[in-house]
Structure 1
Protein backbone atom coordinates (compact mmCIF):
# COMPACT_ATOMS: atom_id res chain seq x y z
CA UNK A 1 0.00 0.00 0.00
CA UNK A 2 2.86 2.36 0.77
CA UNK A 3 4.19 1.87 -2.73
CA UNK A 4 0.98 3.40 -4.17
CA UNK A 5 1.12 6.67 -2.20
CA UNK A 6 3.82 8.31 -4.31
CA UNK A 7 2.17 7.54 -7.70
CA UNK A 8 -1.21 8.73 -6.37
CA UNK A 9 0.37 12.02 -5.18
CA UNK A 10 2.05 12.51 -8.55
CA UNK A 11 -1.23 11.79 -10.33
CA UNK A 12 -3.07 14.32 -8.10
CA UNK A 13 -0.44 17.02 -8.77
CA UNK A 14 -0.58 16.43 -12.53
CA UNK A 15 -4.40 16.59 -12.43
CA UNK A 16 -4.31 19.88 -10.49
CA UNK A 17 -1.80 21.31 -12.96
CA UNK A 18 -3.99 20.33 -15.93
CA UNK A 19 -7.05 21.93 -14.30
CA UNK A 20 -5.17 25.18 -13.62
CA UNK A 21 -3.82 25.29 -17.18
CA UNK A 22 -7.29 24.66 -18.65
CA UNK A 23 -8.79 27.39 -16.49
CA UNK A 24 -6.11 29.92 -17.50
CA UNK A 25 -6.54 29.02 -21.16
CA UNK A 26 -10.33 29.40 -20.87
CA UNK A 27 -9.94 32.88 -19.40
CA UNK A 28 -7.52 33.91 -22.13
CA UNK A 29 -9.89 32.67 -24.85
CA UNK A 30 -12.84 34.50 -23.23
CA UNK A 31 -10.89 37.78 -23.40
CA UNK A 32 -9.97 37.25 -27.05
CA UNK A 33 -13.48 36.30 -28.26
CA UNK A 34 -15.05 38.81 -30.63
CA UNK A 35 -18.28 40.22 -29.26
CA UNK A 36 -17.20 39.83 -25.67
CA UNK A 37 -17.71 42.89 -23.50
CA UNK A 38 -14.74 45.23 -23.23
CA UNK A 39 -13.11 45.48 -19.82
CA UNK A 40 -14.80 48.02 -17.55
CA UNK A 41 -13.43 51.53 -17.43
CA UNK A 42 -10.90 52.17 -14.68
CA UNK A 43 -11.85 55.86 -14.45
CA UNK A 44 -14.05 56.09 -11.32
CA UNK A 45 -15.91 59.21 -12.54
CA UNK A 46 -16.83 57.50 -15.81
CA UNK A 47 -17.78 54.35 -13.89
CA UNK A 48 -20.06 56.45 -11.65
CA UNK A 49 -21.72 58.07 -14.69
CA UNK A 50 -22.27 54.70 -16.35
CA UNK A 51 -23.58 53.15 -13.13
CA UNK A 52 -26.02 56.02 -12.49
CA UNK A 53 -27.36 55.73 -16.04
CA UNK A 54 -28.42 52.12 -15.35
CA UNK A 55 -30.78 53.15 -12.53
CA UNK A 56 -34.28 54.58 -12.69
CA UNK A 57 -35.19 57.56 -10.52
CA UNK A 58 -36.56 55.55 -7.59
CA UNK A 59 -33.58 53.16 -7.55
CA UNK A 60 -31.21 56.14 -7.77
CA UNK A 61 -32.92 57.88 -4.84
CA UNK A 62 -32.95 54.71 -2.69
CA UNK A 63 -29.30 53.93 -3.50
CA UNK A 64 -28.11 57.38 -2.43
CA UNK A 65 -30.26 57.19 0.70
CA UNK A 66 -28.49 53.95 1.64
CA UNK A 67 -25.06 55.45 0.86
CA UNK A 68 -25.87 58.51 3.00
CA UNK A 69 -26.89 56.23 5.88
CA UNK A 70 -23.60 54.32 5.62
CA UNK A 71 -25.30 51.09 4.56
CA UNK A 72 -22.83 50.06 1.88
CA UNK A 73 -23.85 46.39 1.79
CA UNK A 74 -27.53 47.27 1.35
CA UNK A 75 -26.57 49.75 -1.42
CA UNK A 76 -24.53 47.07 -3.20
CA UNK A 77 -27.43 44.62 -2.88
CA UNK A 78 -29.87 47.19 -4.28
CA UNK A 79 -27.57 47.94 -7.24
CA UNK A 80 -27.00 44.22 -7.82
CA UNK A 81 -30.75 43.49 -7.87
CA UNK A 82 -31.60 46.57 -9.95
CA UNK A 83 -29.04 46.07 -12.71
CA UNK A 84 -28.36 42.34 -12.69
CA UNK A 85 -24.61 42.94 -12.74
CA UNK A 86 -22.20 40.79 -10.76
CA UNK A 87 -21.32 41.40 -7.14
CA UNK A 88 -17.84 42.73 -7.89
CA UNK A 89 -19.18 45.11 -10.56
CA UNK A 90 -21.94 46.21 -8.18
CA UNK A 91 -19.41 46.85 -5.41
CA UNK A 92 -17.21 48.90 -7.74
CA UNK A 93 -20.20 50.85 -9.08
CA UNK A 94 -21.51 51.73 -5.61
CA UNK A 95 -18.02 52.76 -4.51
CA UNK A 96 -17.70 55.03 -7.54
CA UNK A 97 -21.18 56.48 -6.98
CA UNK A 98 -20.35 57.20 -3.33
CA UNK A 99 -17.05 58.86 -4.21
CA UNK A 100 -18.42 60.78 -7.22
CA UNK A 101 -22.12 61.54 -6.66
CA UNK A 102 -24.19 61.71 -9.83
CA UNK A 103 -27.44 63.55 -10.33
CA UNK A 104 -30.28 61.51 -11.77
CA UNK A 105 -30.59 62.06 -15.50
CA UNK A 106 -33.61 60.64 -17.29
CA UNK A 107 -32.91 58.38 -20.24
CA UNK A 108 -34.51 60.89 -22.63
CA UNK A 109 -31.82 63.17 -24.15
CA UNK A 110 -34.33 66.05 -24.46
CA UNK A 111 -33.50 67.52 -21.06
CA UNK A 112 -31.57 70.76 -21.43
CA UNK A 113 -28.27 71.03 -19.57
CA UNK A 114 -28.05 73.27 -16.51
CA UNK A 115 -27.50 76.86 -17.61
CA UNK A 116 -25.91 79.55 -15.44
CA UNK A 117 -28.80 81.96 -16.14
CA UNK A 118 -31.51 79.35 -15.51
CA UNK A 119 -33.92 80.61 -12.85
CA UNK A 120 -34.91 77.15 -11.64
CA UNK A 121 -31.87 75.27 -10.33
CA UNK A 122 -31.73 71.51 -10.58
CA UNK A 123 -32.31 69.54 -7.37
CA UNK A 124 -29.94 66.66 -6.65
CA UNK A 125 -30.78 63.53 -4.64
CA UNK A 126 -28.01 64.32 -2.13
CA UNK A 127 -27.12 67.28 0.09
CA UNK A 128 -23.96 69.16 -0.81
CA UNK A 129 -22.04 70.90 1.99
CA UNK A 130 -19.91 73.96 1.27
CA UNK A 131 -17.75 75.26 4.11
CA UNK A 132 -15.78 78.51 4.22
CA UNK A 133 -13.67 79.70 7.14
CA UNK A 134 -11.28 82.47 7.99
CA UNK A 135 -9.70 82.66 11.41
CA UNK A 136 -12.34 81.83 14.00
CA UNK A 137 -15.26 82.47 11.63
CA UNK A 138 -16.76 79.47 9.84
CA UNK A 139 -19.84 79.39 7.62
CA UNK A 140 -21.55 76.39 6.09
CA UNK A 141 -24.13 76.09 3.33
CA UNK A 142 -25.92 72.79 2.84
CA UNK A 143 -28.22 72.36 -0.13
CA UNK A 144 -29.47 69.78 -2.60
CA UNK A 145 -29.23 72.40 -5.37
CA UNK A 146 -25.41 72.62 -5.16
CA UNK A 147 -22.74 70.37 -6.60
CA UNK A 148 -18.99 70.64 -7.30
CA UNK A 149 -19.51 72.36 -10.65
CA UNK A 150 -21.90 75.04 -9.37
CA UNK A 151 -19.87 75.66 -6.21
CA UNK A 152 -16.72 75.94 -8.36
CA UNK A 153 -18.40 78.66 -10.45
CA UNK A 154 -19.44 80.50 -7.28
CA UNK A 155 -15.89 80.31 -5.88
CA UNK A 156 -14.46 81.56 -9.19
CA UNK A 157 -16.82 84.54 -9.14
CA UNK A 158 -15.88 85.30 -5.53
CA UNK A 159 -12.14 85.06 -6.15
CA UNK A 160 -12.40 87.25 -9.26
CA UNK A 161 -14.01 90.01 -7.17
CA UNK A 162 -17.58 89.70 -8.44
CA UNK A 163 -19.01 89.08 -4.96
CA UNK A 164 -22.55 90.21 -5.77
CA UNK A 165 -22.87 87.74 -8.66
CA UNK A 166 -21.40 85.00 -6.44
CA UNK A 167 -23.82 85.81 -3.61
CA UNK A 168 -26.76 85.88 -6.03
CA UNK A 169 -25.77 82.51 -7.49
CA UNK A 170 -25.38 81.07 -3.98
CA UNK A 171 -28.85 82.25 -2.90
CA UNK A 172 -30.34 80.85 -6.11
CA UNK A 173 -28.80 77.41 -5.40
CA UNK A 174 -29.51 77.25 -1.66
CA UNK A 175 -32.07 78.30 0.91
CA UNK A 176 -30.07 81.09 2.55
CA UNK A 177 -30.67 84.84 2.60
CA UNK A 178 -28.65 87.35 0.60
CA UNK A 179 -27.04 88.60 3.84
CA UNK A 180 -25.91 85.06 4.74
CA UNK A 181 -24.66 84.54 1.20
CA UNK A 182 -22.61 87.76 1.33
CA UNK A 183 -21.06 86.65 4.66
CA UNK A 184 -20.18 83.28 3.13
CA UNK A 185 -18.74 84.84 -0.05
CA UNK A 186 -16.68 87.29 2.00
CA UNK A 187 -14.85 84.28 3.49
CA UNK A 188 -14.20 82.87 0.00
CA UNK A 189 -12.92 86.11 -1.55
CA UNK A 190 -9.57 86.08 0.25
Structure 2
Protein backbone atom coordinates (compact mmCIF):
# COMPACT_ATOMS: atom_id res chain seq x y z
CA UNK A 1 0.00 0.00 0.00
CA UNK A 2 2.83 2.39 0.83
CA UNK A 3 4.35 1.77 -2.61
CA UNK A 4 1.22 3.28 -4.24
CA UNK A 5 1.29 6.57 -2.33
CA UNK A 6 3.97 8.26 -4.47
CA UNK A 7 2.42 7.31 -7.86
CA UNK A 8 -1.03 8.43 -6.64
CA UNK A 9 0.41 11.80 -5.52
CA UNK A 10 2.11 12.23 -8.90
CA UNK A 11 -1.15 11.35 -10.66
CA UNK A 12 -3.06 13.92 -8.58
CA UNK A 13 -0.44 16.61 -9.33
CA UNK A 14 -0.65 15.89 -13.09
CA UNK A 15 -4.47 15.97 -12.98
CA UNK A 16 -4.41 19.32 -11.15
CA UNK A 17 -1.95 20.70 -13.72
CA UNK A 18 -4.16 19.57 -16.61
CA UNK A 19 -7.23 21.17 -15.01
CA UNK A 20 -5.40 24.48 -14.49
CA UNK A 21 -4.12 24.44 -18.08
CA UNK A 22 -7.61 23.69 -19.41
CA UNK A 23 -9.09 26.56 -17.37
CA UNK A 24 -6.40 28.99 -18.60
CA UNK A 25 -6.95 27.87 -22.21
CA UNK A 26 -10.71 28.35 -21.97
CA UNK A 27 -10.22 31.85 -20.55
CA UNK A 28 -7.80 32.70 -23.35
CA UNK A 29 -10.26 31.47 -25.97
CA UNK A 30 -13.08 33.45 -24.38
CA UNK A 31 -11.04 36.66 -24.40
CA UNK A 32 -9.90 36.01 -27.99
CA UNK A 33 -13.54 35.43 -28.99
CA UNK A 34 -14.52 38.76 -27.47
CA UNK A 35 -11.68 40.52 -29.28
CA UNK A 36 -12.58 38.93 -32.61
CA UNK A 37 -16.18 40.07 -32.26
CA UNK A 38 -15.05 43.48 -33.49
CA UNK A 39 -15.60 44.02 -37.23
CA UNK A 40 -12.75 42.49 -39.19
CA UNK A 41 -10.90 44.70 -41.67
CA UNK A 42 -9.06 42.99 -44.49
CA UNK A 43 -5.34 43.52 -44.80
CA UNK A 44 -5.73 45.36 -48.12
CA UNK A 45 -8.36 47.71 -46.64
CA UNK A 46 -6.13 48.32 -43.63
CA UNK A 47 -3.26 49.20 -45.99
CA UNK A 48 -5.47 51.70 -47.87
CA UNK A 49 -6.59 53.33 -44.64
CA UNK A 50 -3.05 53.43 -43.24
CA UNK A 51 -1.64 55.00 -46.42
CA UNK A 52 -4.30 57.70 -46.22
CA UNK A 53 -2.99 58.81 -42.81
CA UNK A 54 0.50 59.58 -44.10
CA UNK A 55 1.91 62.69 -45.74
CA UNK A 56 3.83 62.27 -48.98
CA UNK A 57 7.20 62.51 -47.22
CA UNK A 58 6.15 60.06 -44.47
CA UNK A 59 4.80 57.67 -47.10
CA UNK A 60 8.07 57.78 -49.05
CA UNK A 61 10.22 57.33 -45.92
CA UNK A 62 8.03 54.47 -44.64
CA UNK A 63 8.33 52.52 -47.88
CA UNK A 64 12.08 53.18 -47.96
CA UNK A 65 12.36 51.61 -44.50
CA UNK A 66 10.18 48.66 -45.54
CA UNK A 67 12.32 48.13 -48.65
CA UNK A 68 15.48 48.17 -46.51
CA UNK A 69 13.99 45.55 -44.18
CA UNK A 70 13.87 47.91 -41.20
CA UNK A 71 10.47 46.90 -39.86
CA UNK A 72 10.98 48.32 -36.36
CA UNK A 73 12.01 51.72 -37.73
CA UNK A 74 9.01 51.67 -40.09
CA UNK A 75 6.66 50.90 -37.20
CA UNK A 76 8.22 53.69 -35.13
CA UNK A 77 7.83 56.15 -38.02
CA UNK A 78 4.17 55.20 -38.52
CA UNK A 79 3.53 55.36 -34.76
CA UNK A 80 5.01 58.85 -34.52
CA UNK A 81 3.33 60.10 -37.70
CA UNK A 82 -0.20 58.94 -36.90
CA UNK A 83 -0.38 58.67 -33.13
CA UNK A 84 -2.03 55.25 -33.47
CA UNK A 85 -1.18 52.66 -30.82
CA UNK A 86 1.86 50.42 -31.10
CA UNK A 87 -0.14 47.31 -32.04
CA UNK A 88 -2.18 49.27 -34.60
CA UNK A 89 1.04 50.72 -36.04
CA UNK A 90 2.57 47.23 -36.30
CA UNK A 91 -0.53 45.91 -38.07
CA UNK A 92 -0.66 48.92 -40.41
CA UNK A 93 3.00 48.60 -41.42
CA UNK A 94 2.52 44.86 -42.00
CA UNK A 95 -0.48 45.58 -44.21
CA UNK A 96 1.40 48.31 -46.09
CA UNK A 97 4.28 45.91 -46.72
CA UNK A 98 1.95 43.15 -47.92
CA UNK A 99 -0.25 45.46 -50.01
CA UNK A 100 1.85 48.39 -51.29
CA UNK A 101 -0.15 51.58 -51.73
CA UNK A 102 0.63 54.58 -53.91
CA UNK A 103 0.48 58.01 -52.31
CA UNK A 104 -3.00 59.41 -52.92
CA UNK A 105 -2.81 62.79 -51.29
CA UNK A 106 -4.76 64.30 -48.41
CA UNK A 107 -8.23 63.41 -49.78
CA UNK A 108 -10.15 60.82 -47.80
CA UNK A 109 -9.54 57.16 -48.52
CA UNK A 110 -12.81 55.34 -49.24
CA UNK A 111 -13.61 52.67 -46.64
CA UNK A 112 -14.74 50.11 -49.22
CA UNK A 113 -12.44 50.49 -52.21
CA UNK A 114 -13.09 48.51 -55.35
CA UNK A 115 -11.06 45.38 -56.05
CA UNK A 116 -8.05 45.97 -58.27
CA UNK A 117 -8.05 44.09 -61.53
CA UNK A 118 -5.00 42.65 -63.21
CA UNK A 119 -6.02 44.36 -66.48
CA UNK A 120 -4.48 47.74 -65.76
CA UNK A 121 -1.06 47.57 -64.05
CA UNK A 122 -0.65 49.94 -61.13
CA UNK A 123 2.61 51.80 -60.59
CA UNK A 124 4.09 51.68 -57.10
CA UNK A 125 6.41 54.27 -55.53
CA UNK A 126 9.24 51.70 -55.31
CA UNK A 127 10.96 49.19 -57.56
CA UNK A 128 10.29 45.50 -56.96
CA UNK A 129 13.03 43.01 -57.81
CA UNK A 130 12.20 39.45 -58.76
CA UNK A 131 15.13 37.06 -59.16
CA UNK A 132 15.04 33.54 -60.57
CA UNK A 133 17.99 31.20 -60.98
CA UNK A 134 18.72 27.64 -61.93
CA UNK A 135 22.28 26.36 -61.94
CA UNK A 136 24.57 29.08 -63.28
CA UNK A 137 21.75 31.00 -65.00
CA UNK A 138 20.20 33.93 -63.14
CA UNK A 139 17.59 36.38 -64.39
CA UNK A 140 16.27 39.50 -62.70
CA UNK A 141 13.17 41.58 -63.38
CA UNK A 142 12.95 44.99 -61.76
CA UNK A 143 9.74 46.97 -62.08
CA UNK A 144 7.58 49.44 -60.23
CA UNK A 145 4.48 47.62 -61.51
CA UNK A 146 5.25 44.41 -59.55
CA UNK A 147 4.64 43.53 -55.92
CA UNK A 148 4.53 40.32 -53.86
CA UNK A 149 0.91 39.60 -54.73
CA UNK A 150 1.34 39.96 -58.51
CA UNK A 151 4.64 38.08 -58.50
CA UNK A 152 2.99 35.32 -56.44
CA UNK A 153 0.26 34.97 -59.06
CA UNK A 154 2.89 34.78 -61.81
CA UNK A 155 4.81 32.07 -59.91
CA UNK A 156 1.59 30.11 -59.33
CA UNK A 157 0.76 30.23 -63.04
CA UNK A 158 4.28 29.02 -63.87
CA UNK A 159 4.17 26.19 -61.34
CA UNK A 160 0.76 25.09 -62.63
CA UNK A 161 2.20 24.74 -66.12
CA UNK A 162 0.58 27.81 -67.66
CA UNK A 163 3.90 29.37 -68.66
CA UNK A 164 2.43 31.44 -71.49
CA UNK A 165 -0.06 33.18 -69.17
CA UNK A 166 2.72 33.71 -66.61
CA UNK A 167 4.99 35.25 -69.25
CA UNK A 168 2.16 37.48 -70.50
CA UNK A 169 1.40 38.69 -66.97
CA UNK A 170 5.10 39.36 -66.38
CA UNK A 171 5.42 41.46 -69.55
CA UNK A 172 2.27 43.41 -68.59
CA UNK A 173 3.76 44.29 -65.19
CA UNK A 174 7.31 45.04 -66.31
CA UNK A 175 9.26 46.52 -69.19
CA UNK A 176 10.72 43.27 -70.56
CA UNK A 177 10.06 41.50 -73.84
CA UNK A 178 8.05 38.31 -74.19
CA UNK A 179 11.25 36.38 -74.96
CA UNK A 180 12.89 37.64 -71.74
CA UNK A 181 9.72 36.85 -69.79
CA UNK A 182 9.68 33.27 -71.12
CA UNK A 183 13.35 32.83 -70.14
CA UNK A 184 12.56 34.13 -66.65
CA UNK A 185 9.50 31.86 -66.30
CA UNK A 186 11.53 28.81 -67.36
CA UNK A 187 13.79 29.41 -64.35
CA UNK A 188 10.76 29.48 -62.03
CA UNK A 189 9.64 26.02 -63.12
CA UNK A 190 10.66 23.86 -60.13
Question: Is TM-score (shorter-chain normalized) higher than 0.5?
Answer: yes
For residue 138 of structure 2, give the secondary structure of its aligned residue in structure 1. strand
Give the distance between the partners of 1:165 and 1:70, measured in 2 at CA: 31
Asked if 2 retains the 8 angstrom alpha-carbon contact of 1:142 and 1:174, the reply is: yes
Task: Give the 3 Å change call, closer, same or farther, for CA 50–159 of structure 1 in structure 2.
Answer: closer
Which residue in 1 is equivalent to 2:163? 163
Asked if 2 retains the 8 angstrom alpha-carbon contact of 1:75 and 1:94, the reply is: no
**Higher RCO, Cα 8 Å, sep 6+:** 2
Task: Confirm whether residue 101 of structure 1 aligns to residue 101 of structure 2.
Answer: no
Task: Give the 3 Å change call, closer, same or farther, for CA 182–126 of structure 1 in structure 2.
Answer: same
Render the CA deviation track for 1:36-66: whole Å, top value 9, x for unaligned: xx69x9xxx94x8636623326233331123
1:163, CA displacement in angstroms? 2.0
Which residue in 2 is equivalent to 1:67? 66
Residues 1-190 of structure 1: matches in 2 within 5 Å? Answer: 46=43, 50=46, 53-56=49-52, 58=56, 59-69=58-68, 75-86=74-85, 88-89=86-87, 92-93=90-91, 96=94, 100-104=97-101, 107-108=109-110, 111-116=113-118, 118=119, 120-190=120-190
Task: Give the 3 Å change call, closer, same or farther, for CA 187–71 of structure 1 in structure 2.
Answer: closer
Asked if 2 retains the 8 angstrom alpha-carbon contact of 1:66 and 1:75, the reply is: yes
Aligned residues: 148
Which residue in 1 is equivalent to 2:24? none
Give the distance between the partners of 1:185 and 1:55, measured in 2 at CA: 32
**Greater Cα radius of gyration, structure 1 or 2:** 1
Give the distance between the partners of 1:69 and 1:185, measured in 2 at CA: 26
Gaps of 5+ in 2: 1-30
Give the distance between the partners of 2:69 and 2:151, measured in 1 at CA: 25
Asked if 1 retains the 8 angstrom alpha-carbon contact of 2:100 and 2:124, the reply is: yes
1:171, CA displacement in angstroms? 0.7
Asked if 1 retains the 8 angstrom alpha-carbon contact of 2:45 and 2:113, the reply is: no
State the TM-score, normalized to the length of structure 2: 0.59
